[in-house]
Each structure stands twice: as structure tokens, then as C-alpha cells.
Amino acid sequence: MSDSNLISNAFNFSESLSSGVDVRTGSFSVSLSLGHFIAYKNSGHIVPVQLSYDASSNNDIGFGRGWSISLSRFNKDKNTLLLSTGQSFQLEYNEDLGEYDIPYRKLKDIRVLYLDETKEITVLHKTGIKEFLDWETGILKKVVSPSGLEVNFDYSEFNLQQVLWHVFDNAGREIIIDWWSNDWETTVEQILDSKVYQRFTIRKTGNGNYKRLSSIIFPELNDPATFDYRYIASADYDVIEKIVHASGLIEDINYLDKGQLLPLDAPLSSVPCVLSHTINPGVNQAVHYSCYEYSDNNYLGFGCDRAWIAGEDTLFKSDNDYRYTTTETVNDSKVTVREYNKYHLLECASYFDNNNLYKREDYQYFADLELGIESQPATYSLLKEQTTTHYFNGSERSFTKQYNFDEFGNQTLESHVDGSKVIWNYYPASGEGSLCPADPHGMVSLIKEEIVIPVKTADDEQERKTIMTYRSLPCLNDSKNYFIVPYEMNKDNCSKSYDYYEDKSNIFEYGRLRVETTVVNQFSSQILYRYDFNMSGLKTTLQTTTYDGITFTESKCVDYFFGHEIEAMNSQGVVIRSQYDSLGRQTSSVVAQDTDYEASKKFSYQFESGNNSVKVTDTKGNVVVQNMNNAGKLISVEMGSTDDDLRVIHEYQYDEFGLLKQQLDTDWIDNSPITVGMQFTYDVYGNINTVMHQDGRQEIITQDPIELKTIQRQVGLLSQTTIHNLSGLEVRKETHDGQGNLRATSVSEYDGFGNLRFVTDTLGRVIEHRYDNFDRIYETQREIDGEKIIESFSYPEFTSSPAVCHSSVNNIEVGFREFDGLLRVKNEVSAGGSKSYSYKGAETNPEHIKMPDNNTVNILQNIYLNKPDSISIPGQPEMTNIYQYDKETADLNYSINQGSENTYTTDSMGRLIKEKIQLNDGTNRQASYKYSLLGKLCEKTDFFGNKTVYQYDSLGRIASITDTVSDQDTSTYIDYDQYSRAYKYTTRYKNDEAVVELVFDGVGLEISRIARFNGVEEFTIEQQYNESMLLEMRSFRDTNGQTTETFRYDDLYRLINYRCDGPHQPLDDVGNKLMEQEFSHDIYGNITKVVSRFLGNTVNTCIYTYDPNNPVRLISIRNSHPSYPAEVILRYDVAGNLLNDEKGNIYSYNTLNQVTSVKGNNGKELSRYTYDAHRRVVSQTVEDSLIYLFYCNDMLSNEFSNGAHSSYHRPAKGLISRTVSQGKNTKNQILFGNSQGSIVETLSEQDNTSNRSKETRSYTPYGEG
């Protein structure tokens, strides 16, 4: 039967327009995209080209029965209008208005006119688009953009009807649909400037007196998508029973032939409906199975109070309320019951998991269900209120959102569940004077103002308005008509205005944005747009001029066919170019092409059953392959330095719902895999609720939708409970240890716009923030021991950016920055003095820095790599640093300065594999590194040939570290607890064995440390923490007894009291044994007073005084104890560097603020320093001894002096083995430390004996010792 004989507005909703089952009607629909028609070189209308299938239709327009292109169409005999969206409506001509009414579509967002002169139907859309359809044949003749650019459609006769064969603009873009050359094959060609960019081939097979679309071949793909059908004679339906996608995905659809019953007098007794839908994704994913049940009441109106009438929706004419339901069951466990009203609007949806109701959604519309369609308001089909009810642990809670719309379908209100609202007001169709012209189609669509109403106004929050104005431009095809464009936007001391190109002789440029002007607090910046319609694509050049006159240019170019970006140039002139295949997939990306810095990336694709992948090859030849199953789910990732050495590094398994259930991560070391897995389970909402790690660790996540609470629990360890408010913002967080003890809390409050106003910590301490109109913090308040501390911030007037220019504490300025129009720092003043910066063009990094000492640092920036090529200071050649890089990857290759010359070699993946250093004495040394495939360090050879080998266990954790120095091994073996925390380190050197064993509390803080040497306990450290998880007590126990330290803090977590009792009381620099210290602080965090009590009941009161003009600069120290200088006056250079200390030492610095020498109070030089180009100390002269320092991966690796060198074995914080080698002679030290890494015991080898000497150290709270 004909597709137009059954009318139901149920087909006008989005579900039936996408591939799959429309649960409202029980039909199965398929839409095939044949690309997009982008008209007039990206300046015109974009027409999506889609094939859609209707099993009830026997019409064939060249693709086979039931297949149609989604274009608008008119039927004059039945007065029906089919829109390109797939929606179909009955029309009634209104003589009074001279246009058509649409009874079933009450909204006024389209108008349908009859043009007597041309005998056309014109569909005017609220968006400004116009469609022209031939009244006699009903075919779409052209679509016109708001500016007047036309897309035309040509037809020829086929099967006794007018069938589309040609779509074209007047700028070289066209589509040719060839259904005449071959009865069994139709081709669709997308053409630009006479070149075929895409070709789709549709193949057909016969079935009696009609043809079926059997397969479609897409561009670039190896396999076609195929379709199997079954004819159901009772309804004259030809239903799709099976689809095999080009990727190999298989869909099977099972139908109930006599499914949905029709009302009285209908031409059919029933129509088919889908009973089940099975999707087979292929490997690593279970089959997805859905089945459907339908109530006797249905979308066709069976059992209602009206008989069937041709051309009408039976339910729309019904006087009584009418409901029908569908039940969808997915994978035998998830059930959704949906109920629809007589206007086919979803009234409610109930969600069940294994028969347990967990969510219900209720929808309220503007329709009055006791009235017929004639009496409904224009907005009858629009959502008025949505209530979501969650059911959890025997409780329920509902959340409601409200909406409003005008009769043109414009949204006028959105009220959120937290009480905040957004209101939109619109200009009337007649316009409003100079603010907005009349709408050319007589509709309402232009926003006049947007009003954001905050959640609350307790902090004097005001509603925020954005006001828009508009102007008109004449249409290209008719100067009497016009279209409307934005003119100004104003909000909160910020406005934007827009100017446009108005030369109608350039149809591509006409109506495009020419100038965008932004004004913030009267400061104006501007962007000028220029368009070049080149052979390859549309190039848009943006010339930006900031408020202070800085000008820079950027550009991008998009192709005409896809609209994809094919070229982009940044403000420094660096260009990135991209290419795409005929499906629009990126095939290459090249940066800085045809320069020395060219770097590329290539993409290739496989798309066929069981072989769907994307391969990415970078500029060094490294390859990453992402493999997908037939459903497009990522199932594995392969990686290698070439195509020939690919290794699997990730594997993924999915459940029947498509959720990740297992992930395997594999690293490769010397061709041996180490695979670590995780397994996942999910709650009823599809959120992860358990994570099982391969080492046995388990994470449990519980999300409570009633209390808006999330509990994240690491089983046996800590748990975190987070509660959110109705805005989704965190309002409370609690941390509990493994025993359920509360360890920390944080309570947050917000203003009406979601800005954090108050934070209250575990001890009830409050931090308060205040915000400006741009939501930037301008004030932070807190109390410290009863004193109010106010931090204030201000911002440049020309921007809404959160770039702080002034900061102060209690009205005393502590920092200043001045920015230019690009928000680059021009000048800054801090405790370190004043600096000024200058830039080249629009580069983000400075070209010159004027230092506080008036010297200028010149930086030669590499615009391609965004890194410096050199740093120099005029008149100081010894300060010059030079850098060289890999020109493709920007990896550092070489650096040189007075202190050293460094050469770096990286592998293709950018990892450092060799570094060479030549020091200023001419000595050359090198270090090397080896890695696993994913970058784990496996082997290191330091600058003196000492080798370190890292071994990993089956879970990828470091199992052992072995250092070989002068043929002697030092090995550490690491044991892990059930939570994969390293808790025991065993270091072996010759016949000696050092062991450190740790114990942690439920939140991971170290509470115990035992150090043993050769089976003998050296010491035990035990630690306790306060409510803020700060160290409160530490005891150190060894053969000399127990030493106990206690710590107390103020409201800002600053140490205010320290006590120490026991044999290991720390010594200060002059040898006093410290028993207690009390600390006082000012509002800036400076220590202002320290009272120290020593053994023997002596006391030192130390007063620290700071510069009133620079409150963080210490200027004097006064002591009361005779062993200290009575007063020390501290001096600084102009850069803020300390020139002397309390011991009388004198410091010297270079222009880069690096310490170059230290002299004693007698003027004798104590030490001198030189640096490499990376600001690391590479040599130090101590009196007459020269010490060279070597670094591996930025960590000190070796020291060399007078023919001897040191090397370090660092398996853990608080356990170090240090070996000093001179020739074949070596001496080893075992260094035991505390949890902070400070060394508390050193065991040193002695000459000619197996015994070791012992040295212990203890420290004051700030590190003296």
C-alpha cells in the first residue's frame, strides 16, 4: 500500500529518524548519509543528503522500494507537506490569511504560502531559510539561504513520477544521482568544480514487481553495507530483517507480522512491529539484544472513540484522553516502560533493573489532553515540566525542571532544579525601531535579552542580562527583501559590535563578518576579518588590534567540500596543513611544511569486518594502531617504532551494554610482556561501581542519587564521601580511614552563580572569597588566631580575564604586574625587585627582559618550537646559553654555556637515551638509558660507567634495583603490601644488608619506620598525625633510648611549637641542644619571633624584622643568647638577593640571580659555583677543591673531585647507598633517613675492617642539624 495512507504524528518525533527501533511506533528505520552539500564555497546553505527507509512505502525514486531522500515535498491532492526533517503534516488553506494553516503543527516557526504567479508552495522557516516547491508536482525546486543564495534541484521522470537527479548551486557544487544508466545500480556523485569527490554506489535486486536496495558501497570502504528484507503481504510492508554494516556489524530484526491493530474503518486490520532487535558487534563485546512489547492501545488509535479517516491522525481528533505504552527489555535485565498520550508525547518512562524500579521520568506538556487538536495552544507539543524521580535504598527523591516557550517555538524559560533560571525575551515580529528590524518572514526568532537569575541573592547577587540588537542587509537575489544579522551584544561592562561586508558583487563574501569590536570598561579591541576564496578553499584571515595598538594576524583555510580545516597559521606565521580522504577522514597533518622544522603525522584506515583500525604514523616513523570491533569500540592498541615491530599495549573487553568490563595494559621489556589488568562493574545508571585491580586491590564507588552523595572506597584503606548540591557543586567532603575514623572534612558554600564563597575545614576554620562581575576573586578573608587576614586582588580594566595585576594583604601591596593587550607581562614588581619585558610582535615569550640590576637578558625565541635558541646578556659573554633542538619534535639536542657543553640523544619516541657532557676543563663523559616500550626505565649507565638495572614484577612494579660500581653490586629488593604500597626495602652490598620496613595508616601516611643493618635494629621511628593530617608526634628509638618530638600548629597550619625530649635532641649551628621552640608569625606567613629553650635552661629569643615597604623581606635578626650575634642587619641587592647571612657570609650573584660565590666574614672565598645552560650547578669550588656535579634526568648522579667520584643508589626516600670510587678502591656508605628523606644515620665502611662507623644526626624543625 502507499506510504501516505496511514497518518500518525507519532512518526514526527526524532526516534523514527535515526537508525534502529522507534519504540513509540515499533517500526525500524534506517537513515543513510550520502554526505553534505555545502553551497557557495561555505557561504550558502548546507543540505544534508540522507536516504531514509519506510517499510510501508511502495514508492521507488531510483534507490529501491521504500527508500527516499530527505527533502521537503508537497502533495496537492491530499494537501500534505513532508518536511526534510521527515515530519509530515496536513495543510488547510486559510483564505483570510492567504496562506496555509497546519492544524497538527500549531507552532508558528514555519509559514507555508502559495505563490500564484509561479504556482509554487513556499515554506518559510524561522531560521530565514526558504524552500520553493512546485504546486503541481510537489517537488522541491530550490532552497534559498537568508542572504539569497539558491540551491537548485532538477528532476526527470522515473516510474511515472518526477525524481531528483541533480542538485546544484551556481558556484561549482553539484550532486548527480544516476538512476537511469543501469536498472540495477544507482550512483550518487558529489562534485565540486567538475571533479568527483565522492561516489556512492547503490545496488538493487528484484523482488517480483519491485526492486530492493540490496547494498551500498561507500567511498574508501572495502565492503558494502547490505540489507535483507521480508515481504509481509497482509500489510504490504517490506521490512528490513538484517543489516550487515560495512564495518561488519550485524543487526537482526524480528517482527510480529500482525502487530499493531488499527481502529475501525481502517484499510488494514494491523501493521507489523518489531519484536526484537539483535546487534552483534563482533570481537570483545557481547551481543546486544532488545525485545519489545506493546499495549493494545497504540499510536494508530486502536480502541479510541473515533473511527479511522483517511488523511487524519485518529488520536489527534479524539475528544478523550488516550494512553498507550511500549515496553523495551534490553539483554533480559534492563526494562523501560514508556507511556504516550494521544498527541504521541512521552508522558512517563519507568526504568527497571532486574525488576527493581530505579528511575522514573514524568513529562508535562502544554497540551490539554481532554481537548482535540483544534483547541490546543501553539505550544501543545512542547515540554512544560520534567520530573525525574530516583529510587535508591528504599528512598525516593524527585527533581523538577520547568520550561516555557512562545508560539513560535522559542524557549522563553528554563528553570533548573536548583532554582536558578534563564529567561529569554524576543523582539516582536514587527521589530523595535533602530534596535531590531521587522522579521522578513513575520516571525519571532531574535533574542532581545537573556536574563540569568541566580540560585540565591543572599550575597547581593544581581540578575545578569545580555542585550542584543540587530540590523538588516539586503538579500542578494532581491533588494526589496532583507535578512537580519547581529549588531551589538552588551553585558556587564562588556560589549561586542559587528560590521559586515556589503558589496553584493562578491556573493561569497557578502554578509560575512568584517569587523568585530570588543569593549571592556571603555577599552576597545578589534578583529578585522578578510576572506580569500582560493582554489583550495576559503581562507579567513583575522587581524587583531588590541586596545594598546598591538596588531597580529592569524588565518585558517577550510576546504569547500567538507568544510574541514586544511590550513591554519598562528600569529608567529607557523602553518599547519591537513589533508582528508573522500570520506572526510584526516589523512595527514604537516607543521611548518617546506621549512627545516617540517614535522608530519599520517593517518590510514581499515574498515571491513573483523579489521577496523586507524593507524597513526608520526614524523619519526613511530606507529600507533587503534583496532576497533565491528561496532567501533576500541578493542586494542598496538605501538611500535616501525610497522614491523608493533606490540599490543592495550586490550579492552565490553559487556552486552557496550560498557568496558576489562582492560589489559601491556608493557614490553626485551620482547617479554608485562600485562596488568583491571575489571569493572557498573550500577544501574551505567556508572562504574567497582574496579578490581590485578594485585587484589578493590575500589567501590557508590552514587546515591537521593542524597546526591558519592562514596569512593578503597577497600581496607580510606574512603571519601562527597555530597553535592542541586547545582552539582561539592558542598561537603569527608575522608575516613580504613577503620571508619573521620580524618578530614571540608564544607563548601557558593554564591548564586556557583562561585565558591566559604570553605570550612576539619577544625572549623573558614576561608571566605568575594567575586567581581566577571566571577574573579577580588578578596579572600580568613582568621588566624583571631586576627582577620584579607588578601585583595585587582585586575586590568581592559579585560575580563583572571590575570591579577595587584595583590595585597591587609592593604599592603605584595605584588604588581602590568599586562599588555595580549595579557603578556610588561612589568612586574615583587620581593625580587622590578623586571620589565618586551616582545617581538605577537610572540608569547619575551624577547628582552630588563633585570633589576638594569642588565638586559636577550632571548632568541624559536617560533617553530616555542623554545629559546639562546639567552645572552650584552657585555657578559660568559653568561650566554645556546640551545639546539630536534627540528621535528623539539626535543633538546644540545646546549652550551661557560659551565658545560651538553649533547642529548633521544630515541624516536623522544626519550633520552644518551647524554654527553664536556665540562670547562675539557673532560668528556656520557650517560645512557634504556627503556621499556611504554617508557619504564630499565637500565641506566651513569657518567662514570656505573650501571643501574631495574627489574619489574608481574604487576609492572619495580621489584629490584641493582647498581654495579667497580664490579661490585648494590641491590635493593622491594616488597609490596596488599595495596601495592612499597613497604619493605632490602639493600645488599657485599656481605652487608640494610632493611627499611614501613607501616602506613588507613589514609597512606607513614606511621612507623624500622631500619635494620645486618639483622640488627638500628632505629625505629613512629609518627602520629593531628586532625589536619599534619605531623603531631615523632619518636626516634635506638640503642641510646627514645627521643620524642611534638609539633603544634596555628590556624594556617604553621608550626607554632616544637618540643624534643631524649638523647637525640637536635643541635643548632653553634652547638646548643634544643629542647623547645615557639614560633610567632605575621599575616604574610613570615616568622617574626622564635623562642628557643636549650638544655641547661638557657633561652634565646630571636626577633625577625621585615622591611615595611617589602613585608616579605627580612632585614634584621636580633638574638638574646650570648652564643648568637646580638643583631644581624641583612642586606639585599636590587634583585632582592640576600647579600649576607647571620654567620657573616657574603654572597655574590650573576644577572640571572644565581649564586656565584660565598665569602666568609674575613673576606676569604669559601665556595664558587658554575652552572650549565639549565641552571644546574655543575661545578663547585670549596676552598682549593674543585667538585664537578653530574645529573641523570635532572637528579644528582655523581660528584667528582681529585680523581674520586661518588655514585648513588636511591631505592627509596630514607634509604641511600653512596659509593665513593677512586681507581679500583671503593668506599660505601649506607644512609638511613626519615619519612622526609632527611638522613638520620650514616654507616660508613672503614679501611681494613668489615666494621662500619656510625654517625647519627637530628634536625631542628626547619632543617638545622
In angstroms, rounded to a whole number, what is the distance separating the alpha carbons of residues 867 and 848? Answer: 14
Instruction: Find how far residue 204's CA is from the centre of its chain.
Output: 45
Q: What is the phi/psi pair of residue 10, to 5°? A: -60, -25
At residue 1137, does pLDDT exceed 50? yes
> Could you tell me what percentage of the chain is helix, strand and coil, using 3-state DSSP and rounding each to the nearest 5?
0, 55, 40
At residue 39, does pLDDT exceed 90? yes
Nearest to 538 by CA among 561, 508, 567, 558: 558
β-pair partners for 474? 482
What integer pLDDT is reported at residue 1225 of this predicted model? Answer: 86
- Could you tell me which residue, 1027 or 1022, shows the higher pLDDT? 1022
Nearest to 99 by CA among 110, 86, 113: 113
In angstroms, rounded to a whole number, what is the distance separating the alpha carbons of residues 1090 and 1057? Answer: 9
728: Cβ–Cβ under 8 A, 6 or more apart, which residues? none
User: E strands within 10-98?
Assistant: 20-22, 27-29, 31-38, 46-53, 67-69, 73-75, 80-82, 88-90, 92-94
Write out pLDDT tens, residues 1214-1236. Answer: 999 999 998 888 899 999 999 99
The sign of the dihedral angle between the CA atoms of 623, 626, 630, 631 is negative
What integer pLDDT is reported at residue 688 of this predicted model? Answer: 98
Of 6-15, 801-810, 917-926, the range with the lowest mean pLDDT is: 6-15
Mean pLDDT of 667-682: 96
DSSP state of 1233: E
Total residues found in the chain within this entry: 1265
Instruction: Find how far residue 649's CA is from the centre of its chain.
Output: 23
DSSP state of 436: B
pLDDT class for 850, splitting at 50, 70, 90?
very high
Nearest to 984 by CA among 999, 1003, 970: 999
What integer pLDDT is reported at residue 373 of this predicted model? Answer: 84
Report residue 783 as a C-alpha cell: 582568621
What integer pLDDT is reported at residue 308 of this predicted model? Answer: 86
Mean pLDDT of 926-951: 96
How many Cα atoms within 13 Å fall on the side-chain side of residue 997? 12
* Distances in whole angstroms, Cα of residue 714 to Cα of each of 528, 677, 711, 762, 1226: 55, 17, 10, 21, 46
What integer pLDDT is reported at residue 798 of this predicted model? Answer: 96
Write out pLDDT tens, residues 307-362. Answer: 888 878 888 888 788 999 999 999 999 999 999 999 999 999 999 999 999 999 99
Percent residues over pLDDT 90 in the chain = 85
What integer pLDDT is reported at residue 11 of this predicted model? Answer: 40
Exposure of 365 by Cβ count < 10 A (0-12 exposed, 13-18 middle, 19+ buried)? buried
Which long-range contacts (C-beta less than 8 Å, at least 24 apart) are formed by 861-869? 863/572, 863/573, 863/574, 864/574, 864/591, 864/592, 864/595, 864/597, 865/597, 865/890, 866/890
Exposure of 390 by Cβ count < 10 A (0-12 exposed, 13-18 middle, 19+ buried)? buried
At 956, which amino acid appears?
G
What integer pLDDT is reported at residue 1183 of this predicted model? Answer: 82
Mean residue pLDDT of the chain comes to 94
**pTM for the structure as a whole:** 0.92
What integer pLDDT is reported at residue 317 of this predicted model? Answer: 80
Of 374-378, 941-945, 995-999, the range with the lowest mean pLDDT is: 374-378
Nearest to 58 by CA among 195, 231, 192: 231
At residue 3, does pLDDT exceed 80? no
pLDDT class for 1204, splitting at 50, 70, 90?
very high
Contact yes or no for 255/275 (Cβ under 8 A): yes
At 133, which amino acid appears?
L
What integer pLDDT is reported at residue 920 of this predicted model? Answer: 81
Instruction: Find how far residue 1171's CA is from the centre of its chain.
Output: 39
Write out pLDDT tens, residues 1024-1066. Answer: 999 889 999 999 999 999 999 999 999 889 999 999 999 999 9
Contact yes or no for 935/956 (Cβ under 8 A): no
What integer pLDDT is reported at residue 372 of this predicted model? Answer: 81
At residue 1, does pLDDT exceed 70? no
Report residue 1211 as a C-alpha cell: 631505592
- Could you tell me which residue, 721 or 77, shows the higher pLDDT? 721
Mean pLDDT of 425-430: 98
pLDDT class for 17, splitting at 50, 70, 90?
very low
At residue 18, does pLDDT exceed 60? no
In angstroms, rounded to a whole number, what is the distance separating the alpha carbons of residues 17 and 25? Answer: 12
The string over 1002-1031, giving b where at least 16 C-beta atoms fall within 10 Å of a residue's C-beta and e elsewhere, is bbebbebbbbbbeeeebbbbbbebeeebeb
pLDDT class for 86, splitting at 50, 70, 90?
confident
14: Cβ–Cβ under 8 A, 6 or more apart, which residues? none
Question: 10 Å Cβ neighbour count for 1137?
Answer: 19
The sign of the dihedral angle between the CA atoms of 668, 671, 674, 679 is positive
Exposure of 189 by Cβ count < 10 A (0-12 exposed, 13-18 middle, 19+ buried)? middle
Strands 777-784 and 20-22: unpaired
* Distances in whole angstroms, Cα of residue 212 to Cα of each of 43, 61, 179: 37, 11, 13
